[in-house]
Amino acid sequence: MPHKYAGGCAHHGSYSDSEPIDNHTCHCSVCKRVTGQPTTHVVLFKHGDLTVGGAGNLKRQAFNDQNPNGPLELCVCEICGAPVMVDDKQRRIRVVVPNLMGYDRQKLPATYHAFYDPATGVPKPDDGRPVYAGFHPDFVMPKGA
């Protein structure tokens, strides 16, 4: 039976049948460094809502190289090197980047812009979606396991 949202690589399928808890276009410097993209469409699921086959075999590295002991880890396939997810050591969230992790971005459209900083000199987005300096004001990070 197909899952509501599915992605991953040929060696590590990932899926969720639950709705994401947040879905935005990120403008932060960390996402820019990690992805090489000027903005990054990110989708956050509660940790237990995103299943990754063989997650224990994934190669893990600090998501933020300037905060190597931070809670987030970029997880890539140990065979093909494809990014599969960003995992939270505190077990609050799991994050996917649809265009890099095999997900259909039309099924998971970003609803706002996050971490926009006008000091970067980048023009403020004007696509009609709200723009915030951080997460959406109503967003609450789930408690860890």
- Catalogue the E-assigned strands of the chain: 5-8, 13-16, 22-26, 40-46, 51-52, 59-62, 72-76, 83-88, 93-96, 112-114
Q: Is residue 65 in a domain?
A: yes
pLDDT at 144: 87
Per the structure block, which two tokens stand in for 57?
């075999």
* Cα 38 to Cα 5: distance, rounded to the nearest angstrom: 25
pLDDT at 50: 98
Expressed as residue numbers, the domain containing 54 is: 5-120
pLDDT at 82: 97
Q: How many domains does the structure of the chain reveal?
A: 1
Domain of 38, CATH number, reads 3.90.1590.10
User: How high does pLDDT run on average in the chain?
Assistant: 96
Model pLDDT for residues 1-38, shown as the tens digit of each residue: 789 999 999 999 999 999 999 999 999 999 999 999 99
Q: Is residue 73 in a domain?
A: yes
Q: Is residue 13 in a domain?
A: yes
The mean pLDDT of 71-85, rounded to a whole number, is: 97
